[in-house]
């Protein structure tokens, strides 16, 4: 009986040791795969920076369509990789809801709030809800503690079942909008494809030369109650070959006759892209690395402004 008991105990110890060894081996392999996938992503990022510099140098006056949105395969030994680039400014910059560069002196920007409201209305969001969310999002970022008419400051959030406070600073990622009062998971799903959080409080630098007709709401938001989505879509569909040569030519388009954008909105339209968004996806075995990078093309070579990583298995 003693011998049998010892054999049973040793069997359990051996099985446990082998199980731990197997787990350690898998963790080590996963860690190595993650490191290798990340290295490939960084190499793709460097390649993207060079391509962006070449694109800007090819035409320093304007940036036209033809390069954005398409996934390109990467030669990854023993795995698979994809990369694509898009105009990183063709979105609503949540940080444009305020003005100012000093984190301690961010002030609500009425034009930004009006554009966010107009974008939501163009996406068929209830006008009352759109006004509430736009004001609350502006209050979330601005430096003061006084809520706007339809907005919300700390007092509204500290009464929640799990109390929290406003950020009082720029958003680093559009997902932060989910913490703002009035934003439900359903609403965020509708808004997410149209949002960005650029590292600046500038109004969204919309480039009509790189917009697709499906992105017409981004144009419509610039001139609320004057330019609807259908008219904006028709304008983009009739874009000149190679795009508009300048912003003046764009605003003088026959399709925009009678449209007078609010102060500041006309200047935010640009025919030269500054922000380039690059996505990479590298798969090695069962491990996938996803990276989102934002480049500032005003500098030569294009400067990496932000990077986000995601890993999965």
When comparing pLDDT for 66 and 164, which is higher?
164
265 and 109 Cβ atoms separated by less than 8 Å: no
Mean pLDDT of 24-40: 65
Asked if the structure places residue 187 within a domain, the reply is: yes
Paired sense of beta strands 275-284 and 287-296, if any: antiparallel
Read off the CATH number of the domain in which 308 is found. 3.10.450
Asked if the structure places residue 54 within a domain, the reply is: no
Mean pLDDT of 13-35: 58
* Same domain assignment for residues 121 and 220: yes
* Same domain assignment for residues 77 and 102: no
Rg, the chain, Cα only: 25
* Same domain assignment for residues 240 and 277: no
* Same domain assignment for residues 184 and 297: no
264-280 tens-digit pLDDT: 777 899 999 999 999 99
Q: 280 has which bridge partners?
A: 83, 291
| pLDDT interval class at 17 (50, 70, 90) | low
User: What 3-state DSSP class applies to 308?
Assistant: strand
* Same domain assignment for residues 103 and 242: yes
* Same domain assignment for residues 202 and 238: yes
- Number of domains the chain is built from: 2
Asked if the structure places residue 180 within a domain, the reply is: yes
* Same domain assignment for residues 284 and 225: no
Q: Where are the alpha helices (DSSP H) in the chain?
A: 2-58, 110-122, 127-141, 154-158, 185-191, 216-220, 229-237, 247-251, 265-268
> Whole-model pTM?
0.85
- Round to whole Å and give the CA distance between 300 and 313: 37
Asked if the structure places residue 6 within a domain, the reply is: no
Burial of 103 (0-12, 13-18, 19+ CB in 10 A): exposed
* Same domain assignment for residues 289 and 174: no
Read off the CATH number of the domain in which 203 is found. 1.10.40.60
Asked if the structure places residue 123 within a domain, the reply is: yes
* Same domain assignment for residues 210 and 134: yes
124-146 tens-digit pLDDT: 999 999 999 999 999 999 998 88
**Res. 29: pLDDT tops 60:** no
* Same domain assignment for residues 158 and 72: no
Phi, psi of 310, rounded to the nearest 5 degrees: -145, 140
Asked if the structure places residue 304 within a domain, the reply is: yes
**Res. 179: pLDDT tops 50:** yes
* Same domain assignment for residues 124 and 244: yes
* Same domain assignment for residues 125 and 178: yes
60-70 tens-digit pLDDT: 899 998 888 88
| CA nearest to 41, candidates 207, 245, 290, 302 | 290
Average pLDDT, the chain: 87
Asked if the structure places residue 256 within a domain, the reply is: yes
Q: Domain range spanning residue 284?
A: 60-88+273-313
Asked if the structure places residue 224 within a domain, the reply is: yes
| pLDDT interval class at 31 (50, 70, 90) | low
| CA nearest to 280, candidates 259, 294, 265, 266 | 294
- Round to whole Å and give the CA distance between 60 and 63: 8
């Amino acid at each position: 009986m003693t011998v049998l008991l010892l054999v049973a105990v040793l069997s359990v110890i051996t099985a446990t040791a082998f199980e731990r060894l197997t787990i350690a081996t898998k963790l080590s392999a996963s860690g190595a795969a993650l490191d290798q996938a990340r290295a490939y992503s960084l190499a793709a990022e460097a390649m993207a920076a060079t391509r962006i510099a070449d694109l800007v140098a090819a035409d320093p006056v304007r940036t036209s369509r033809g390069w954005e949105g398409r996934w390109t395969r990467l030669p990854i030994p023993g795995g698979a990789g994809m990369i694509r680039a898009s105009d990183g400014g063709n979105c609503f910059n949540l940080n444009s809801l305020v003005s100012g560069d000093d984190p301690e002196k961010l002030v609500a920007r009425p034009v930004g709030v009006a554009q966010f409201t107009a974008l939501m209305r163009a996406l068929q969001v209830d006008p009352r809800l759109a006004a509430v969310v736009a004001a609350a999002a502006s209050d979330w970022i601005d430096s003061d503690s006084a809520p706007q008419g339809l907005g919300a400051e700390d007092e509204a959030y500290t009464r929640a079942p799990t109390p929290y406070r406003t950020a009082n600073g720029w958003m680093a990622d559009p997902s932060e909008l989910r913490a703002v009062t009035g934003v439900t998971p359903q609403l965020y799903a509708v808004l997410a494809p149209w949002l960005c959080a650029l590292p600046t409080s500038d109004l969204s630098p919309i480039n009509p030369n790189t917009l697709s007709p499906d992105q017409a709401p981004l144009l419509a938001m610039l001139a609320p109650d004057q330019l609807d989505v259908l008219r904006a879509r028709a304008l983009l569909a009739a874009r000149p070959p190679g795009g508009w040569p300048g912003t003046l030519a764009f605003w003088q388009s026959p399709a925009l006759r009678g449209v007078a954008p609010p102060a500041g909105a006309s200047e935010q339209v640009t025919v030269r892209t500054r922000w380039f968004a690059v996505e990479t996806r590298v798969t090695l075995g069962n491990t996938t690395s996803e990276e989102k990078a934002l480049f500032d093309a005003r500098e030569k070579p294009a400067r990496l402004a932000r990077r986000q990583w995601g890993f999965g298995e």
